Structure 1
Amino acid sequence: MRYLSANDIKTFFSMRNAIDADTEALSLYSSGRADIPLRTNINIPEYNGQSLYMPGYVSGADPSLGVKIVSVYPDNIDKKLPSVPATMITLDAQTGIVNAILDGTYLTQLRTGAVQGAATELLSNENSKTALLIGTGGQGMAQLEAMLTVRNLDKVFVSDLDMDRAKKFCETATLNFSEVFSTIFEPVANPNSVVSEVDIITSVTTSKRPTFDGTLVKQGVHVNGVGAYTPEMCEIPVELLKQANHIVFDTMDGVLSEAGDIIQPLKRGDISKQEISGELGQVINQNIAGRSSEKDITFFKTVGTAALDVVVADRIVKKAEEMKIGMEL
């Protein structure tokens, strides 16, 4: 069995690798090749905790099997421990034997950034030059890297509720990416000041109200809704959804049961299910059309699926075995 830390994974598995793995995972998911049971949630009231178990199996030429364990223990902060520790366990699909343990926190950041990257690559205009990132939390840097990986961007504006945080994020991004990308990172106090000029918008927040004005977006924009993952959260403006020519999800079942961005406007009758194009995997498999014109407005919503975790983790483990990276137990 192999143990792979976040640092181990970073040395050999790139964002490009993760985007390719996510693309494969969603293609298989939309082809009916994934068995993803409902998440099991266990409450631990004595310690103000909750433990979540997300298993999955994706079949195909290179099958993937595993389970991600995520715990939510807010009081861990007082113990100087992570409040949301996560671990990924992979199994050999042919034998059912556990073959690796991975840092689940980094895996989640990587595959979530990568699924947005896959959508941006498929749905945004190829000549996109400017982007806006809203939200600089734990997912922010991976979201930024994914956009930079799939599009040759001249400038990315960065917005956060805390302007100092946005400035520091831009400084870190410059340190992280200046040797690979020539992109300029610019903090903005109000996202609406640049919404009308950007080609790509990625919002990754837990906001319960829209993070930008949907009436200001230009023709041809591509928007990613990454952050809101409960029925109460709603970071995407309904005006954007009404204008969108293509509304695409990572998984229909997941988004329609979890994402307030879609659940709330559907309940109000602001949009109908008939206006939803389908899943990104269907675009990948060419079962439905993606962008058909440079002027199309496209929207992608993700809430995540264990299919992404198991496929990306499996590809990481196989590559680590080839390169003899990680700790063998």
Structure 2
Amino acid sequence: MLFLTKENIIDSFTMRDAMDACNESLRLYSEGKASVPLRTNINVAKQEGQSLYMPAYVEADKDALGVKIVSVYPKNIEKNIPSVPATMVTLDAETGMVSAILDGTYLTQLRTGAVQGAATELLAREDAEIGALIGTGGQAEGQLWAMLTARPLKVVRIFDIDFERASAFAKEMEAKYGVEMIPCKEAKECVEGADVITSVTTSKRPTFSAEWVKEGAHINGVGAYTPEMCEIPKEIIKKASTVIFDTMDGVLKEAGDFIQPLEEGYVTEDHYNGELGQLALGQISGRQNDKEITIFKTVGSAVLDVYVANKIVEKAKKENLGQEIN
């Protein structure tokens, strides 16, 4: 069995690798070649925590099998340990034996950014130059890295409800990626004129207004993952020419910003065009011209975790990274 740390993954697997793996996994999912049971959620009331188990199997040239274990323990902060620790376990699909254990926290950050990057690559204008990132939490850097991988952005504006946090993040990311980062005090300043807009927050109300969005922009909704959360304004959803999801089932069960307009009758389900895997397969159309507004929404799926994790393990083995445990 192979044990891979965050550092091992960083040393062997790039955002480009992760975007390609996400694209492949969702193509296979849309082709019906993945089995993704509902996640199991165990309530640990004594500790005010929850433990979640997310399994999946993907049939491919090299089958992928595994389970991600994520715990949500808010009181861990008092112990100075992560409140949402995660571990990824991959199995040999031929034998059912555990083949590797990976840092699941970093894997989640990487694949969450990568699926957005895969969508941005397929949907954003080719000449996109200005990015907007709303939210500077734990997922923010992965989202930024993916945006910069998908398009050669010249500048990225950063907005957070805490301006000092946005400023610190912008300074750190500019030094790391060599692209101009501009912290913004207002969301409007961040979004107006941007070619690619990514919102990654847990907000229960839209993080920007539809009238701020320029013609031809591409929007990514990444943060809202419950029916109560709502990052993307319904007005821009209705205005968009193309609305694509990572998985239809997942978004229409979990993402409030896309569930609520349906329940209100503001849009009908046929306004939602389909899945990223279908777009990658050429089964549905994406952007038709430079004036259209396009939207991608992701809530995540175990198919992404399992497939990306197996690709990481393959590459790490080729490069002799990680620790073998007998």
Question: Could you say which residue in structure 1 is the equivalent of 2:282?
Answer: 286
Question: Could you say which residue in structure 1 is the equivalent of 2:267?
Answer: 271
CA distance in 1, matches of 2:77, 2:39: 25
Question: Could you say which residue in structure 1 is the equivalent of 2:245?
Answer: 249
Listed as ranges, the matches of 1:39-58 within 5 Å are 39-58=39-58
Listed as ranges, the matches of 1:1-329 within 5 Å are 1-178=1-178, 183-329=179-325
CA contact (8 A) 2:113 2:139 kept: yes
Q: Which runs of 5+ in 1 are unaligned?
A: none
Moved beyond 3 Å, runs of 4+:
none
CA distance in 2, matches of 1:166, 1:147: 17
**1:200 deviation in Å?**
0.6
Identical-pair percentage: 57
Give the letter for the 2:291 counterpart.
K
CA distance in 2, matches of 1:174, 1:237: 29
CA distance in 2, matches of 1:102, 1:37: 21
**1:195 deviation in Å?**
2.2
**1:284 deviation in Å?**
0.2
After superposition, the C-alpha distances for 1:54-85 in whole angstroms (9 at most, x for unaligned) are: 00001021210000000011111111111111
**1:194 deviation in Å?**
3.9
**1:175 deviation in Å?**
2.5
Give the letter for the 2:317 counterpart.
E
SS for the counterpart of 1:52 is: strand
After superposition, the C-alpha distances for 1:134-155 in whole angstroms (9 at most, x for unaligned) are: 0000000000000001101110
**1:12 deviation in Å?**
1.2
**1:278 deviation in Å?**
0.4
**1:242 deviation in Å?**
1.2
SS for the counterpart of 1:197 is: coil
Q: Which runs of 5+ in 2 are unaligned?
A: none
> How does the TM-score come out when normalised to structure 2?
0.99
